[in-house]
Structure 1
Amino acid sequence: MDSQIQAKVNEWLAFDKNPATRAEIESLRDAGNTEELKRRLIESNSVQLASQGLCAYVLQNVPNATERGVVVGHDHRYNSEKWAQLTAAAFVSKGFKVYLYKGIVHTPLVPYTVSKLNAAAGVMITASHNPKDDNGYKVYWENAVQIISPHDAANVDNLVIDRTEEMTVAYLGYIASLSRTRLASAGKQMLQSSQVYQYLHAWSFSGIIDRANKVFDFKPLEHVKEQQDPNPDFPLLLSLILKKRCIGLGNQDCERIWFVKKPDGTWFVFSGDQLGSCLRVDIEGYKASGRPIEKLAMVASTVSSKLIGAMAAKEGFKFVESLTGFKYIGNAARALEAEGYNVLFGYEEAIGFMLGEEVRDKDGVSATSGKLATDYLEEIYAQYGYFRPTSNSYFICSQSEIVDQIFARLRSYNDPASLSKDKMSQYPKSIGGLTVMDIRDLTTGHGFDSRGHMITFKAKGDGVAIVLTVRTSGTEPKIKYYLEGSGSTREQVTKALARVVDELRDEWMQAKLHNLGIPGA
């Protein structure tokens, strides 16, 4: 056996007091199963090291941390339960009170409980919507938002506390309050006729979703029997759910939600931006409550639709954009709260919605309390203008030097040799026949800081306005773009967006010259 693996085995057996897990490791060692040992020891060791490091950091930075405790939950992926127990053990060893959930829970319950119990931190073992072989370690700070940059056996039973049912009941009470305040004027309307709601081989369809459904007093939803049991292999049998008129799908840990409606025999797919437009705060209801509209705030990622921004400009509430990801959206919400704003909604176009004031992460359960219908969308467009759902796509490029070259060219598009101090004048002045009116380059210090390349262009012309964001991916060899258009008619906006995509591909990216991969090509 490899000496490094043998050392890991010896290290494990030196501290593991659990007879069952010790026996597993000893059995694998005796069988010479190096690959399985490597997977288990290295991954578990990483979880332990991360937990010990987090524990030390929380002790140093959070007042009364051991008494306030930490919240630990897990999904149904392979090893999730074991890693949650390892995480809890690391904190217990330092005298922390640990609120360890009993069984599988949905991700939003962890930040909710951190907030509800005023815990020092929270950890959720989950990989969200990632492939089945992945797993992850999601950390929430004492403000109940994901973090961003800046064993005495006699005591264990007293330190590990199960408040699963208590917190679940409290959480359902919280989303019931959302139903009362958000749906009073909307009329408690969800999609009618035959409905099927499916969380993809996760625990939540027969758990929290059904319980939430009763809270909202909606008629029972039908589930796909073949997919309703948790399965870490995530087999997707789409044919089983395509026979219904209305479909709701959520990812494995109950964070995201999206709906498909089939009116008059045709499919209608709600984009993340359209769902966000429907689920945002009921403006008329908020005004009727007597609360000052100028203290209402909503948050969206920079690449999401600008429709809520248009609403804010017309109605007088605060709208703020953040970097992509709910760790940024949630922290932006907390910052607004510190300024005295009432932040009731946040979202990103990748189908994640944050409703209410308790959960500062995407929450597919509370999101079911909104009104969703194609006619409601038409009402919104009639009042605030037509916004074409964001067109998101990408170009494939595995050579970082070419990516840098493409973005450098965009920054000196008009006159590469110019010595002008007005650097913004060197960017493209038009696209698709529309005049570029505003540019925000996060890479070079315009706007807020970001890693990698990210440039946003706003252009107008002939009654159409577009917002185009081009950025690199932090995890894939791609140049991604996000495009949205608004105007008075669908036809006008659709034609303009087609011209923009053509020029982006052929002139700005020079896809043929650089041999960029294009989806579907």
Structure 2
Amino acid sequence: MTYKEKYNHWLESNYFDEETKRELRQLKDEKEIEDRFYTDLKFGTAGLRGKIGAGTNRMNKYTVALATEGLAQTIVNRGQGAMDRGVAIAYDVRKYSDNFAEIAARVLAANGIKAYLFDDIRTTPVLGYTVRKLKTISGVVVTASHNPKDYNGYKVYWEDGSQILDDIASEILDEISKIKDFDEINIMDLDEALDKGLITYIGKEIDDDYHQKRLDMAINDDIDKDIKIVYTPLNGTGNKPVRRILKDRGFTNVIVVPEQENPDFNFTTVGYPNPEDPRAFEYAIELGKKEDADILIATDPDCDRIAMMVKDNKGEFIFLNGNQTAALFVNYILSSRYKNGTLPKNAAIVKSIVTGDLGTAIANKYGVKMFETLTGFKHICSKANEWDITKEHTFIFGYEESIGYTYGTLVRDKDAIISTMLIAEMAAYYKKYGKTLLQVLENLYEEFGYYREHLISIVLEGVEGSKRIGRMMDELRANPIESFDNIKLSKTIDYLLEETGNPKSNVLKYFLEDGSWYVVRPSGTEPKIKLYVYTKDKNKEEAERKINLIVDTVEEKLYSIK
């Protein structure tokens, strides 16, 4: 069907409710109608993510039901044992998240599959833990992570507690493709599902268990626990679990940004609730200066990503990006565990291919092997799952530049709660020895060289935007930039066309003769193309000059492609 035929079908079918039809009738912009119906919201290895609204290319109860039906059939294909193990379902603070989670549970129940539904908002990492704790066959979390307020999403996990990889995603997608219309999907009445025991609510027992296991992961206790922390959950799920972990770890000097303390799906005070963007710290900075805090910490709405700012010697707060924070983590974890004798001989760390190399240099110092995967914790934590079986390495830490980190194997996904505890501990440890995290980072630069990084995201929405992103990748693939002043291109890796040991992915990585490199790839979850640039030099100014040169040159080429 054409987009207009799909639009008319939604208006005419008895299956879609009147509220949905009313929303569609109010659309006057033909391009908006086309964007809502020209394609189906794609189910990929990240599940679903898109703008909330009526239409096949939007997040709504019908597209959630469709995705869940595909998941249900994938589980049914594995037999009664898988169906009985069931699916754990969590949801965050976003608009309709609770409704979408309930719809998912009722679709599973209609297929005879047990659903464990959390009784209130939860963080994303606790969902991954719950899958492993309850030994469910799968898990679902309804969240759009750090996206703007008009987005929501649906992430699927498998029995190992990690996000699904291509093989399971392909099975689900194949089952979805067999469904010709939404009215083929059965949805059980909630009360009936509860009476039959096909839906069970999960309460605080999981939270308590997970909380204690997190506390047990502390590394050092010889620290200055009077360190003053300003924390903002950015109106998301992190407020209670983060405050609880800090309190029970002994950090009592914690102040929460009051305007951003409680859930708010409109994110009224922050707009774009992504702590990777320093602007998300506006309220935290104001409070931090008032309270003379040592560090500021922010978590995103589903509390899997985390960022921080550190006070300098002038009383200003300096933002640390994901690469810098990761380097501090790697250094603190490895140096501490090396010192106390708890670093395994086969210890390994995993990072993504778009993440900087300072962590690798630090790992080499301690004889710890660094592995690289495609972006996304589904790939990073697949290494932990693999090593569970082979015992070849012990997974110590996983990270990527987009402020995602996981310590140990308790969770097979990024976890901002354990990361908050470790940031507080790390800052408190160095404070006892008279150092801030900024000074520790500078010491690392002096030892290993000045690593610099820069990320550019070009947002191109809609049908034409998607096509233009495709043209950009095609042009760069066919005609790479051969030099930047006197710095020549030395090597290219095409993760789509070459065998790299990773799954195929539309990513281009360019290495320059001086050790600099850059990566271009379309985002897997948002309508944008991303440019990652990295340089290293003994001289800080020269490293920054090369960053600007590469960014300007590549950006100019990208914008020239219409």
**Distance (whole Å) between structure 2 residues aligned to residue 476 and residue 34 of structure 1:** 23
Could you report, residue by residue, the CA deviation over 1:311-352 in whole angstroms, capped at 9, with x for unpaired residues? 233322121111112222222332243331211211111111
For residues 64 and 527 of structure 2, what CA distance do their matches in structure 1 show? 28
Deviation readout 1:173-209 (Å, 9 max, x if unpaired): 1210222xx235xx4458934x32101112422x111
Amino acid of the structure 1 residue aligned with 2:519: T
Match runs of 1:33-432 below 5 Å? 35=25, 39=53, 43-61=60-78, 64-150=81-167, 156-157=194-195, 158-179=197-218, 182-184=219-221, 187-188=222-223, 192-193=227-228, 195-205=229-239, 207-236=240-269, 239-243=282-286, 244-245=288-289, 246-263=295-312, 264-280=314-330, 282-288=333-339, 290=341, 293-340=344-391, 341-370=393-422, 371-372=426-427, 373-388=437-452, 390-394=453-457, 399=468, 400-401=470-471, 403-410=473-480, 428=482, 430-432=483-485
Once residues 225 and 231 of structure 1 are traced to their aligned partners in structure 2, the CA distance between those partners, rounded to angstroms, is 12
Partners of 2:149 and 2:439 in 1: CA distance: 37
| Equivalent residue in structure 1 for 2:510, among 438, 452, 456 | 456
> Letter of the aligned partner of 1:295 in structure 2?
N
Q: Secondary structure at 1:457's aligned position in 2?
A: strand
Residue ranges of structure 2 left out of the alignment (5+ in a row): 1-6, 28-35, 37-52, 168-187, 271-280, 290-294, 428-436
Which structure has the higher relative contact order (CA within 8 Å, separation 6+)? 2
How do 1:502-517 and structure 2 match up within 5 A? Answer: 502-505=552-555, 509=557, 514=560
* TM-fit CA distance, 1:155: 6.1
Residues of 1 paired with 2:446 and 2:11: CA distance? Answer: 68
Q: Which residue of 2 aligns with 1:17?
A: none
Distance, in Å, in 2 between the alignment partners of 1:156 and 1:394 is 45
Paired AA for residue 120 in structure 1: I
Using the TM superposition, name which of 85-94 and 117-126 deviates more: 85-94
- Conservation of the 8 A alpha-carbon contact between 1:352 and 1:362: yes
Which structure 1 residue ranges, 5 or more long, are not aligned?
13-24, 414-427, 517-521
Large movers: runs of 4+ above 6 Å: none
Alpha-carbon distance between aligned partners in 1 of 2:550 and 2:137, rounded to the nearest angstrom:
48
Shift of 1:41: 8.9
- Following the alignment from structure 2 to structure 1, what is the Cα–Cα distance between the partners of residues 415 and 63? 28
Give the Cα–Cα distance (whole angstroms) in 2 for the partners of residues 358 and 377 of structure 1.
Answer: 27
Residues 332, 458 of structure 1: alpha-carbon distance in 2 compared, 3 angstrom cutoff: farther
Alpha-carbon contact 1:276-1:347 (below 8 Å) kept: yes
Q: 1:405 to 1:288 in 2, by over 3 A?
A: closer
The structural deviation recorded for 1:169 is 0.6
Name the TM-score, length of structure 1 as normaliser.
Answer: 0.80
Q: 1:4 aligns with which of 5, 9, 14?
A: 9
Distance 1:6 1:268, change over 3 A: closer
Query: Per-residue deviation at 1:69?
Result: 2.0
The answer for the alignment partner of 1:420 in structure 2 is none
Q: Secondary structure at the match of 2:64?
A: helix
Instruction: Give the letter aligned to residue 457 of structure 1.
Output: F
**Cα offset for 1:284?**
3.1
Change (3 A) 1:268 1:55: same
* Counterpart selection for 1:483 from 527, 533, 541: 533
Q: Cα offset for 1:166?
A: 0.7
Alpha-carbon distance in structure 2 between the residues aligned to 1:189 and 1:466: 39
Task: Return closer, same or farther for 1:433/1:91 CA change in 2, 3 Å cut-off.
Answer: same
Letter in 1 for 2:264: N
Provide, for residues 394-428 of structure 1, a one-character-per-residue CA deviation record: whole Å limited to 9, x for no partner.
56785344552343111xx7xxxxxxxxxxxxxx3
Structure 2 CA distance for aligned equivalents of residues 471 and 345 of structure 1: 25
The amino acid of 1:260's aligned partner reads M
User: Is the contact made by 1:293 and 1:316 (CA closer than 8 Å) also made in structure 2?
Assistant: no
Deviates more, 1:245-254 or 1:332-341: 332-341
In 2, distance between residues paired with 1:6 and 1:258?
Answer: 44
Q: Which residue of 1 aligns with 2:175?
A: none
Cα deviations by residue, 1:210-236 (Å, 9 ceiling, x for unpaired): 111122211242122222221111112
> How far has the Cα of 1:380 moved from its partner?
2.9
Instruction: Name the CA shift for 1:302/1:402 in 2 (closer, same or farther; >3 Å).
Output: closer
Q: Is the CA contact (8 Å cut-off) linking 1:122 and 1:140 kept in structure 2?
A: yes
2:520 partner letter: V
